[in-house]
Structure 1
Amino acid sequence: MNALRSAAHFMTSTGVKIISGLIVIKLMASELGPDGFGLLGQFMTFVAITTMLAGGGITNGVIRSLASNQINTPEGKSWLSAAFTLTTGISVLVGVACISLAHPLSGILLKDNYAYLFISLALVQAVVAYGNLVVAEASSRGDSAFYAKINIHGTLLATCAFAILVTNFGFQGAAFGLVLMPALPGVIALHHALWYRREMLHSWKWKLDRYRTQRLLSFSAATVVGATSIPVAHLVIREALGSDLGWSVVGHWQGVVKISDVYMQFVGVLLINYAMPRFAAAIDHRRALNELAKAMAFLLGAGIIGLAVIYTFRDLTIRLVFSDTFLPMSTLFSAQFAGDIFRTIAASISFFFMGRGHVLLSIAYEFLQGPILIILFFFLQDSAGAHAPVYAHLASNAILAATMGFILLIWFRRSTR
């Protein structure tokens, strides 16, 4: 019953995020058109990278460390202090970098002077970072209701704020709304901690701890690589595709990527907050593999059904979520969705290895995604044209899924001898 209740919480909060994401996409598509949507995709990627790296991207490490060392123990307090110290230091560094590079980044990504957006992002990422610590602590003790409440309330407020900004201020409003959206769940999480989790905040102390810092940074490395590998590859592909075929084509590809992101967000939430703590807590490898099998069966079953429905009604989906001007993207769905299924398999195995403490394997997987995608895109660009990105997505994830499956088989054989 607890497992079903937790799954229901994660599914509900993710469902709200999915609906919110679709509303945001619809507003952007209707207000900005394919050209504006494609151009703003560059900034969306940068915001996603920055917020994922907020505080050093140590959320997974905090969840795993606190899963066996709750904060009411000296060991748990030490882990949380190390996490707070690392989060603070990295937030300052990222904030200074965003402010220092605001003007050049504005010209490169938005083709105009919107430096204030990057200065705002410098402040927002610190709020996101500290909010992540609160949510990670809750996830480590299985408090899925808290996770759901924070994300649902934050997502609803963020969606309302974005709608007001984009309808009243157009492109600039949309860009600022994208900066603001990740911060609101963090604000709510911090407010909750201040009123109801004071004992956790008492462990937020500046304390240099070499061993724990290094351990958390090993998980951070996986997050950093994962947060940059695919997004950086998309930046490269957008520039090449925009220069070759125009920003409308980029907007069409960006549209199908955003629908794909909705599904992959669901996968990521369940793997990080539900499955990985169970991978880590399993007392032996066979039980851990049983948890992996259950997680993959659920994710693949739900994914295949959901993506099949969207594909069947793809033209209707495009009209509802985007507009008629985005209908050419319907030919991109099949390859993108097939690639998403392979990506789910590979990501599930990667989080399994992370949960069992084999972080280097997860880092290698996250890193390889981007370079393989870029290589395959340029290999296919001349022959496939506008379809090159989705064909590269399918091929790269099929290769990675097969590779991760083979590594899992070898690992299991060696660990059970």
Structure 2
Amino acid sequence: MNLIRTSVLNGVAVIVRMLAMLGINKILALYVGPGGYAAFGQFQNFISLITTLIGGAFNTGVTKYTAEYAGDSESQRAVWRTAGSLSIVVSVVVALVLYFSSEFLAGSLLNDRGLSGVFVWFAVGLVFLIFNTFLMAVLNGLKEIATFVLCNIAGSVLSVFITVLMVHYSGLKGALIALATYQSVAFFSTVFLCRRLGFFKVSNFFGRPDSGVVKNLIKYAVMAVVSAACLPVTLMLVRAEITETLGWHAAGYWEAMWRLSAAYLMMATTTLSIYYLPRLSEIKSYSSLMAEIFSGYKVILPLTVLAGVLMYLLRDTIVLILFSADFEPVTGLFMWQLIGDSLKIGSWIIAYVMLGKAMFKAFIFTEIFGSVLFYLLSIWLVRTVGLEGVVMAYAINYAIYWILVWWVVRFSLSRMKLTNEVSS
């Protein structure tokens, strides 16, 4: 399956997910306002932190090695059994910790111990959430794109339904409970859609871990821990800085801009995830790898830039339709955010080579560097420029990050090219 075909097929799921996300944004804007948006974003980053630590620790590796071992079903099953068994053990332990520390977490992250119940809901559903992401990783590695798309659509529909229901009856608390549970509920729709596929047997997902597979997955576990400790934590720290300096409403405006950005970038980011990672994992030659990289720059990046230009021109209408008049200050954040988005996608096309080729040291270094730089730039510019400073920091950070990852990956690929030339 080539890049164009994958992008078109994935586009169906992306459109549904985008509509779902924008619909949820509108619901939140009407029911909880800018202040509630900030709390919602804080909890969302916490969920991302936990799920990346657990599921992400294995799922990127599951996708890579499932694709790499295409045609070797026994090796694939060894990967699935190992990752599945480790995932359930770790998720149960983390769920117990979340359950018994729910009041502390609510007070520390949401400034309201009365919201401890949302952490309890998250803990109860955590195992199902992790296995939903695990099954999706297997589908991705097997290139079962049609089923992958259907699972994403089902999850998006469930997210809207649960959010509407919970926000209507419980306001902000309901929105947080919906955020904590909808991915867990999506597990059951994923199982239903996967049940007739050849790989879907319980015995394939549980068993004695394979020591060789564990060794391979450890690299991705380290990458996942770094990712979990970088992006979500950095966003939480930046949001805390904005709140302390400019107030909760300002943090809510930035959260609205961030979520809008994530919605329109979804086509690019999911295509990179479901096409690029498996494809880069199976490529062995330097010339083929470079061809894939440049195809990304010919297709994905221009579409991202075009979408950004359209977003900027329609920014006033977009904010009014998708949020409310209370979010008018968000329009002042569009220019720098959209510049940063294009720079981000440009850098990620290169950065995915590090994941596909298990360049874990390079990945860890660039992730930490980018996150620290974004945080430091945000502190400086928010204090000197105001709220617009955080989106300026975002754009500057990804311009520097793109240069860095290109230099790091180019150095690694030069060695790959030399190896290919010697072997030929």
TM-score by length of 2: 0.93
Q: Which amino acid aligns with 1:83?
A: A
Q: Which amino acid aligns with 1:100?
A: F
Deviation at 1:122, TM superposition (A): 1.4
**Map of 1:220-259 to 2, 5 A cutoff?**
220-259=221-260
Q: 1:173-230: per-residue Cα shift (whole Å, max 9, x none)?
A: 1111111222233221123344545654221223132221121121122233223312
Q: Which amino acid aligns with 2:394?
A: H
**Map of 1:181-330 to 2, 5 A cutoff?**
181-197=182-198, 199-330=200-331
**Map of 1:139-158 to 2, 5 A cutoff?**
139-158=140-159
Rounded to whole Å, the distance in 2 between the matches of 1:7 and 1:266 is 8
Rounded to whole Å, the distance in 2 between the matches of 1:360 and 1:264 is 27
Task: Tell me the residue number matched to 1:9.
Answer: 9
> 2:340, 2:396 within 8 Å by CA — same for their partners in 1?
yes
Rounded to whole Å, the distance in 1 between the matches of 2:364 and 2:201 is 30
Cα gap change, 1:187 to 1:360, in 2 (>3 Å): farther
Cα gap change, 1:195 to 1:411, in 2 (>3 Å): closer
Identity level (%): 21
Task: Using the TM superposition, name which of 64-73 and 106-115 deviates more.
Answer: 64-73
Task: Using the TM superposition, name which of 167-176 and 44-53 deviates more.
Answer: 44-53
Deviation at 1:42, TM superposition (A): 1.2
Task: Tell me the residue number matched to 2:22.
Answer: 22
> 2:52, 2:227 within 8 Å by CA — same for their partners in 1?
no
Q: Which amino acid aligns with 1:319?
A: L
Task: Tell me the residue number matched to 1:79.
Answer: 79
Q: 1:345-395: per-residue Cα shift (whole Å, max 9, x none)?
A: 222211112212322222222222321111111222321111121111111
> 2:34, 2:249 within 8 Å by CA — same for their partners in 1?
yes
Task: Tell me the residue number matched to 1:415.
Answer: 416
> 1:10, 1:270 within 8 Å by CA — same for their partners in 2?
yes
> 1:193, 1:200 within 8 Å by CA — same for their partners in 2?
no
Rounded to whole Å, the distance in 1 between the matches of 2:94 and 2:265 is 26
> 2:293, 2:350 within 8 Å by CA — same for their partners in 1?
yes
> 1:55, 1:88 within 8 Å by CA — same for their partners in 2?
no
Say which SS state the counterpart of residue 114 (structure 1) adopts.
Answer: helix
Q: 1:315-351: per-residue Cα shift (whole Å, max 9, x none)?
A: 1000011101111111111111111111112222111
Deviation at 1:232, TM superposition (A): 1.0
Q: Which amino acid aligns with 2:69?
A: N
Cα gap change, 1:123 to 1:194, in 2 (>3 Å): farther
Q: Give ranges in structure 2 of 5+ residues lacking alignment.
A: 419-424
Rounded to whole Å, the distance in 1 between the matches of 2:32 and 2:46 is 19
Rounded to whole Å, the distance in 2 between the matches of 1:374 and 1:229 is 10
> 1:56, 1:91 within 8 Å by CA — same for their partners in 2?
no
Cα gap change, 1:413 to 1:197, in 2 (>3 Å): closer
Q: Which amino acid aligns with 1:317?
A: I
Q: Which amino acid aligns with 2:127?
A: A
Deviation at 1:269, TM superposition (A): 1.5
Q: Which amino acid aligns with 1:9?
A: L
> 2:147, 2:194 within 8 Å by CA — same for their partners in 1?
no
Say which SS state the counterpart of residue 357 (structure 1) adopts.
Answer: coil
> 1:55, 1:126 within 8 Å by CA — same for their partners in 2?
no
Rounded to whole Å, the distance in 2 between the matches of 1:204 and 1:11 is 30
Rounded to whole Å, the distance in 2 between the matches of 1:199 and 1:34 is 43
Task: Using the TM superposition, name which of 293-302 and 398-407 deviates more.
Answer: 293-302
Q: 1:37-92: per-residue Cα shift (whole Å, max 9, x none)?
A: 12322112112222333435321110111113248722222111111122112212
Rounded to whole Å, the distance in 1 between the matches of 2:217 and 2:288 is 25
Q: Give ranges in structure 1 of 5+ residues lacking alignment.
A: none
Rounded to whole Å, the distance in 2 between the matches of 1:89 and 1:210 is 16
Rounded to whole Å, the distance in 1 between the matches of 2:3 and 2:241 is 46
Deviation at 1:139, TM superposition (A): 1.5
Say which SS state the counterpart of residue 204 (structure 2) adopts.
Answer: coil
Paired residues in the alignment total 417
Say which SS state the counterpart of residue 387 (structure 2) adopts.
Answer: helix
Task: Tell me the residue number matched to 1:167.
Answer: 168
Deviation at 1:11, TM superposition (A): 1.5
Task: Tell me the residue number matched to 2:63.
Answer: 63
Rounded to whole Å, the distance in 2 between the matches of 1:199 and 1:342 is 39
Task: Tell me the residue number matched to 1:31.
Answer: 31
Cα gap change, 1:182 to 1:243, in 2 (>3 Å): same
1:385 is aligned to 2:361: no
Q: Which amino acid aligns with 1:87?
A: S
TM-score by length of 1: 0.94
Cα gap change, 1:349 to 1:401, in 2 (>3 Å): same
> 2:245, 2:383 within 8 Å by CA — same for their partners in 1?
no
Q: 1:139-182: per-residue Cα shift (whole Å, max 9, x none)?
A: 11211000001110121122111111112221111111111222
Q: Which amino acid aligns with 2:135?
A: V
Rounded to whole Å, the distance in 1 between the matches of 2:285 and 2:59 is 24
Say which SS state the counterpart of residue 58 (structure 1) adopts.
Answer: helix
